[in-house]
Chain A
């Protein structure tokens, strides 16, 4: 039994459970007398409900209850909320359309919730749902983002003119415009950041259970942040007071942001369990997931970069229209604003930036955070511009970046952020070496001889993780603080339970968090258990998203460990009969400085609980400490990804040949887990660039509603990645961690598209660059670059 150190690639403790089928997901839970919910969903993108008749359906076999928006209103259940208030360019609050968990007068997207049928069996619920009579007055769909604000467009929410949730801006407009007037060269790109469906492996699920004896509820659900779910369901939706509502997020099979939000189905299951007096279970099928999980991205952007005569960037100007879908989802408003425009400086020293954003309602599924959440969109804008600008002025894209990199830290950007530390040149240099950029022209000529077009693209991304401090995010409109909590419980026999407000749904917290404790307390990793995901066990926590668990969640654990160590030292000083100041703690042993007298951690723990050998008037018995940690700044992971690919112009098929990722995540706790996070992120980013694209037709029907038409990346779409790390320690948290969860998804799309545009010799290539799209462009290119 040895200690596991920070930095060791130790295998994941949770994997034994997962790969032997012992994971306990929400759908694996069976409550006594549970019923099954089936949601009747709108088949129309936009319609007024003239009449809703459930009488015949209610009499069908097995039906326990049918509930509608009317019942919600009767119980005074509130609307679902958006938890980030944006004030528009005129200082007015954003326009939030009413978002009932079950439709009231109107339905606003295909998949919107009309009624819930609760029955003994799922098939009975479904049969009954098919017997519900709904008389729809079909209204015109607003499916096209570009024309959604036209005067002729129907209104998604009758009271919101022009379908505009808000117009918002960031940066200095006059300064930026002035720089553009004086620019030596301006590069301009029209960019569509394609709409994505998150598709975690486990679909959403919920079981609501009401205990009439205690007048309390339990909700098992697929949540990345069970405490936030409880807070929203209590304080805003009004299911039950917080102390009467327990939310449990057991094993969760991936989220990618889509399980942050508080959705209609989970809300209804909790509420309905009291209505019907029995537990109510719902598990989304894949088709429902496509229709009703919050989608990601979906921006239309015009972006411009101003350069001086030496190729130095003088200004960046961006206009973005962001699709919000039919309703403002839980954090939707923050994504195309504070999580997007604040990163538009990229890794570059840009004196003036201005971003104007319109957030627009359409009759499509709500759009909210998806892995990266605003930051992939920002990196895509900046990195596509950088590559295109370098090409236009005839400068090597890597040299162009080196010329414009920020070199001095801390660096204040014109868009709020203060970058604390980084070394962008180091990661670019290392990536270029690993990718053998020097040999690229030779490889390109070889491809040309075989009739193929080869391209190379860079993406020097930056992200902001661990959104904080709470005071700052509050001033920007966040409805919550973004600290994290931890509790370290040392048991009398010296093993440890760590309770954390971070939630693991694939990130490997049970290993990395235990690794931290093992390293710090000098006890084997096997003697540490990480507890999360239950509001009855963990006091409070903000959950997992935005790559915050390491930087914020682990910092809270460090703070609690500091307190544990301090108290243990006090106890050890009594046991060793020495002054507290003379006690040293190292490798799991408390010793008296300059002597051979020592006592191990487990003995101190036992003594803490038996309390025989120290005065309890001075030191309380027990060894359990909690901490709340609020960071002083965001963290800023950054790095360079290089994509090299080959296009078959005859078919349009793109094959990625080489992928190099050099990331600066600060201190890395477990390199194997971190690499895995980057791998997954790259796969999703490549998915966005080459394969994935959610499409609605003119009537607002989702035409990519299954894996038959929505292309997910598979292993054989990807090469084996070449990875490297550089390290600048994050100065704002005790471990020097920056976060790694989203980097791949942020970096990858721009790297792929920079390589494709390099191969094809045109900047106008939309995502996803499917074979047909690439073929169409390739055949119109008379002299592709490969022939040069």
Chain B
């Protein structure tokens, strides 16, 4: 780790102002990507702005049919929340699959989404549920938010404050974990809210989380696993590494998507 200046602002406004005023700042949420990167000397920010002291960024609440989760909410809180379990049970289930207890008690939903790791779980939920990402500046639809590997629509200095999810019961997340890292090798979030059917896939694609529109179309006829029979994705677009070739991942997306739809329809 190289030396940096540490800040712990008390409001989103102050944090955003700080982020705008320093040349080479990094926002710190749960720190599960940033801290290891710093320790390995793969990043050398001049300033680290810790969001842990901002009360506005915490909390889970249900208003009408909208579930709002503060950006600094830990995975363990989402997994255990009776409010989340009632409004979007699949989201609580997903949060309980992230990492291990130590990770879940530090890692945050905002950090995960802002980092947009191609194997992270939360981006699949955001896209699969049609969430809205609320920032220090604006509201961004999930469909417009995840723009590529580790890339999002966030502008420099823009801070995620909350994520708004529609309350959806007919939804499920199925994760096929990498045997080593336990990140998603393929994770599929499938949801049906009246006519809106979404199938979001994480872990598999070289361009990060994506909606499998072909599958969504097929499910409009009948929301059942069988509707996906015969559908396939091109292996060329998939991540290929030590643990799985593009071909294997493309195949897994089909299998896991069927299982997710069956679980959601269940």
A residues whose Cβ falls under 8 Å from a Cβ of B: 123, 126, 287, 650-653, 690-691, 695, 703-704, 707-712, 770-772, 775-776
Supposing A707-B180, A708-B181, A710-B180 touch, asked if A651 and B242 sit within 8 A by C-beta, the answer is no
Question: Residue A709 contacts which of B1, B176, B180, B256 (CB distance < 8 angstroms)?
Answer: B180
Smallest Cβ distance from A197 to chain B, in angstroms? 12
Contact B242 A691 (CB under 8 A): no
**A650–B180 CB distance below 8 A:** no
Per a CB cutoff under 8 Å, which of A123, A287, A711, A776 touches B179? A711
* Per-position binary interface string of chain B over residues 230-266, scored 1 when its CB falls under 8 Å from any chain A CB and 0 otherwise: 0000000000001111001001100110000000000
Contacts of A704 in B (CB 8 A): 180, 242
Residues of A within 8 A of B245 (CB): 772
Q: Which of B41, B248, B255, B256 has the most CB of A within 10 A?
A: B248
Query: What are the residues of chain B within 8 A of A707 when measuring CB–CB?
Result: 180-181
- Whether A775 contacts B180 in the complex (CB less than 8 A), given A651-B255, A695-B242, A703-B242, comes out as no
B180 touches A711 (CB 8 A): yes
The reply to whether A709 and B255 contact each other, CB–CB distance below 8 Å, is: no
Q: Which residues of A contact B242 (CB under 8 A)?
A: 695, 703-704, 709
Contact between B244 and A772, CB atoms less than 8 A apart? yes
With a cutoff of 8 Å between Cβ atoms, the chain A residues found around residue B181 in the complex are 707-709
Q: List 19 A-B contacts (CB under 8 A).
A: A126-B41, A650-B255, A651-B176, A652-B248, A691-B179, A691-B180, A695-B242, A707-B181, A708-B180, A709-B180, A709-B181, A709-B242, A709-B243, A711-B179, A711-B180, A712-B180, A770-B179, A772-B243, A772-B245
Considering the complex of A and B, which 3 residue pairs feature the smallest CB-CB distances, nearest first?
A: A711-B180, A711-B179, A708-B181
Q: Are B251 and A775 in contact (CB under 8 A)?
A: yes
Known contacts A709-B180, A709-B242, then 16 further A-B pairs from the complex at CB < 8 Å, ordered by chain A residue:
A651-B176, A651-B255, A653-B176, A690-B179, A691-B180, A695-B242, A703-B242, A704-B180, A708-B181, A711-B180, A712-B180, A770-B179, A771-B176, A771-B179, A771-B244, A772-B245
Closest residue to A707 on the B side, CB-wise?
Answer: B180
The residue of chain B having its C-beta at the shortest distance from the C-beta of A768 within the complex is B179
How long is the Cα–Cα vector from A287 to B41 in the complex, in angstroms?
13
- B179: chain A residues at CB < 8 Å are 690-691, 711, 770-771
**Residue of B41, B179, B242, B243 with most chain A CB atoms under a 10 A cut-off:** B179
Chain A: which residue is nearest B252 at the CB level? A651
Kindly state the separation between the CA atoms of A775 and B252 in the bound complex, as whole angstroms: 10
Q: Is A775 a contact partner of B248 (Cβ separation < 8 A)?
A: yes
Interface residues of B in 149-190 (CB under 8 A from A): 176, 179-181
Tell me the complex Cα distance, A652–B1, Å: 40
Contact with A along B37-57 (1 / 0, CB 8 A): 000110000000000000000
A residues in contact with B1, CB < 8 Å: 123
Set of chain A residues within 8 Å of B256, measured between Cβ atoms:
651
**A709 CA / B179 CA spacing, docked (Å):** 8
- Give the distance in Å from the alpha carbon of A147 to the alpha carbon of B248 in the complex: 29
- Which residues from A are CB-within-8-Å of B41? 126
Q: Report yes or no: B243 in contact with A770, Cβ–Cβ below 8 A.
A: yes
Q: From the candidates A690, A709, A772, name the one contacting B248 in the complex (CB within 8 A).
A: A772
Please give the distance in Å from A119's CB to the nearest CB on chain B: 15
Q: Smallest Cβ distance from B245 to chain A, in angstroms?
A: 7
* Residue from A123, A695, A712, A771 having most chain B Cβ neighbours under 10 A: A771
CB 8 Å contact bits of B1-15 with A (1 = contact, 0 = none): 100000000000000
Distance in angstroms from A210 CB to nearest chain B CB is 30
CB distance from B111 to the nearest CB of A (A): 18
Contacts of A709 in B (CB 8 A): 180-181, 242-243
Q: How far is the CB of A459 from chain B (nearest CB, A)?
A: 22
Chain A minimum-CB-distance residue to B39 = A285
Give chain B residues whose Cβ lies under 8 Å from the Cβ of A653.
Answer: 176
Question: Considering the chains assembled together, what is the distance between the CA atoms of A690 and B42 in angstroms?
Answer: 32
A691, B242: Cα distance in complex, Å? 12
Q: How far is the CB of B181 from chain A (nearest CB, A)?
A: 5
List chain A residues, Cβ under 8 A from B176: 651, 653, 771
Which of B41, B242, B245, B251 has the most chain A CB atoms inside 10 A of its CB? B242
* Residues in chain A near residue B252, CB distance under 8 A: 651
Q: Give Cα distance in the complex from A691 to B41, angstroms.
A: 29
Find chain B residues with CB under 8 A from A770 CB.
179, 243
Listed residue (A652, A772, A775, A776) with the most chain B CB atoms within 10 angstroms of its CB? A772
Residue from A710, A711, A712, A776 having most chain B Cβ neighbours under 10 A: A711
CA distance A512 to B198 in the complex (A): 60
Q: A750 CB to closest chain B CB, in angstroms?
A: 20
Q: Which chain A residue shows the least CB distance to B186?
A: A651
State the Cβ distance, A111 to closest chain B Cβ, in Å. Answer: 15
How far, in Å, is A162 (CB) from chain B's closest CB? 30
For B248, list chain A residues within 8 Å (CB). Answer: 652, 772, 775-776
Whole-angstrom CA separation of A771 from B255 in the bound complex: 13
Within 8 A of A (CB), among B106-151: none
Nearest B residue (CB) for A126: B41
Q: How far is the CA of A770 from the CA of B242 in the complex (A)?
A: 10
A776 to B41, CA, bound (A): 38
Return the chain A residue nearest B40 by Cβ: A287
In this complex, what residue of A is CB-closest to B181? A708
A776 to chain B, nearest CB (A): 8
CA distance A653 to B181 in the complex (A): 15
With CB as the reference atom, state the residue of chain B lying closest to A779.
Answer: B251
Q: Which residues of B contact A776 (CB under 8 A)?
A: 248
A650 to B253, CA, bound (A): 11
Bound together, the chains give a CA A369 to CA B255 distance in angstroms of: 41
Residue of A nearest to B119 (CB): A708
By a CB distance below 8 angstroms, the chain B residues around A703 are: 242
A451–chain B nearest beta-carbon distance, Å:
11
Cα(A126)–Cα(B244), bound, Å: 35
Roughly how many angstroms separate A703 CA and B241 CA in the complex, as a whole number? 10
**Shortest CB distance A649–B (Å):** 10
Measured in the bound complex, the distance between the Cα atoms of B252 and A650 in whole Å is 8
| Residues of chain A within 8 A of B251, CB atoms compared | 775
In the complex the two chains form, what is the Cα distance from A703 to B248 in whole Å?
20
Q: Which of B40, B180, B244, B256 has the most C-beta atoms of chain A within 10 angstroms of its own C-beta?
A: B180
Tell me the bound Cα distance from A650 to B41 in angstroms.
Answer: 41
**Contacts of A771 on B, CB cut-off 8 Å?**
176, 179, 244
Query: Could you tell me the distance between the alpha carbons of A287 and B42 in the complex, rounded to whole angstroms?
Result: 14
- The answer for the CA separation of A16 and B25 in the assembled complex, in Å, is 45
Closest to A771 in B: B179
Of chain B, the residue at the smallest CB distance from A691 is B179
CB distance from A648 to the nearest CB of B (A): 9
A288 to chain B, nearest CB (A): 12
Rounded to whole angstroms, the CA-CA distance of A709 and B181 in the bound complex is 6
Q: Considering the chains assembled together, what is the distance between the CA atoms of A712 and B178 in angstroms? A: 12
Provide the residues of chain B in CB contact with A695, threshold 8 Å. Answer: 242
Q: Kindly provide the distance from the CB of B259 to the nearest chain A CB, expressed in whole angstroms.
A: 9
Residue of A nearest to B254 (CB): A650
Query: In the complex, what residue of chain B is closest to A648 when comparing beta carbons?
Result: B255
B219: min CB distance to chain A, Å: 19
State in angstroms the CA–CA spacing of A680 and B266 once bound together. Answer: 39
Bound: A652/B40 CA distance, A: 34
Q: Which residues of chain B have C-beta atoms less than 8 A from A708's C-beta?
A: 180-181
In the complex, A771 Cα to B177 Cα: how many Å? 10
CB distance from A41 to the nearest CB of B (A): 14
CB distance from A40 to the nearest CB of B (A): 14
Q: CA of A650 to CA of B40 in the docked complex: distance in angstroms? A: 38
In the complex, what distance in Å separates the CA atom of A651 from the CA atom of B251? 8
Q: For the complex formed, measure the closest distance between the CB of B118 and the CB atoms of chain A, giving whole angstroms.
A: 13
Contacts of A775 in B (CB 8 A): 248, 251
The residues in B between 60 and 76 inclusive whose CB is less than 8 angstroms from any CB of A are: none
- Please, how many angstroms separate the alpha-carbon atoms of A711 and B244 in the complex? 14
Determine which residue in A691, A695, A775 has the highest number of CB atoms from chain B within 10 A of its CB, and name it. A775
Contacts of B255 in A (CB 8 A): 650-651
A127's closest neighbor in chain B, by CB?
B2
A5 to B113: give the CA distance in the assembly, Å: 58
C-alpha gap A709/B40 in the complex (Å): 16
The CA of A652 and the CA of B252, in the complex, are separated in Å by 10
Q: How far is the CA of A478 from the CA of B1 in the complex (A)?
A: 45
CB contacts (< 8 Å) of B244 on chain A: these are 771-772
